[in-house]
Copies of this chain bind each other. A is one copy, B any other.
């Protein structure tokens, strides 16, 4: 059975890795949807879809998850909720179950007749992404909250510098 796991992955961190592992205990393959794929270069969405896909692939490899167990698929936000499930369906292999703690995602897939399951550590995961971006901006240590391959990739693309640049105000 295939399941869907949707996130923004700004950036991909250890909470996400745990969520994927958790899902793979229940299902055979997980489709990881990189949501808000068109967004980048903002404080909440600093990284492009392509950059996030690299992070996810590197992080899952480091986490020991075989590539045959997952798909990584970028999908933009449409902002027309009544059509979003059909967009996701069109861009993905067939799936039966959705792993999400996000209320809108849960509701939309429930109305469309899918099984929807919670992920135990998602609350913490959500916290982590915001916290990681906050630490990046303030020069605090964030590296141990992500797989080390993700930390290396962010360094390689000067990701922290980009985020800090974006926090500068016009009055600075």
Interface residues of A (CB under 8 A from B): 37-42, 48-51, 53-54, 57, 67-68, 71, 73-74, 80-83, 85-87, 89-94, 101-104, 106-108, 110-111, 122-123, 126, 162, 165-171
Whether A170 pairs with B103 at a CB distance below 8 angstroms is yes
Contacts of A68 in B (CB 8 A): 67
A selection of 26 A-B contacts at a CB cut-off of 8 Å is: A38-B82, A41-B82, A41-B108, A42-B81, A42-B104, A48-B91, A50-B92, A50-B93, A50-B94, A67-B67, A67-B68, A82-B87, A82-B89, A82-B90, A83-B83, A85-B86, A86-B86, A101-B170, A102-B170, A103-B167, A104-B166, A106-B165, A107-B165, A110-B165, A111-B162, A126-B170
Complex copy number for this chain: 6
Whether B90 pairs with A49 at a CB distance below 8 angstroms is yes
Please classify the interface of chain A as helix (H, G, I), strand (E, B), loop, or mixed, using the class held by over half of its residues: helix
Contacts of A92 in B (CB 8 A): 50, 53
B40, B42, B73: the one within 8 Å of A90 (CB)? B40
A38 vs B42: C-alpha distance when bound (angstroms): 21
Task: Give me 11 other A-B pairs in contact (C-beta within 8 A), A53-B71, A80-B90 excluded.
Answer: A38-B80, A39-B80, A53-B93, A74-B91, A82-B89, A83-B87, A103-B170, A104-B166, A107-B165, A122-B170, A126-B170
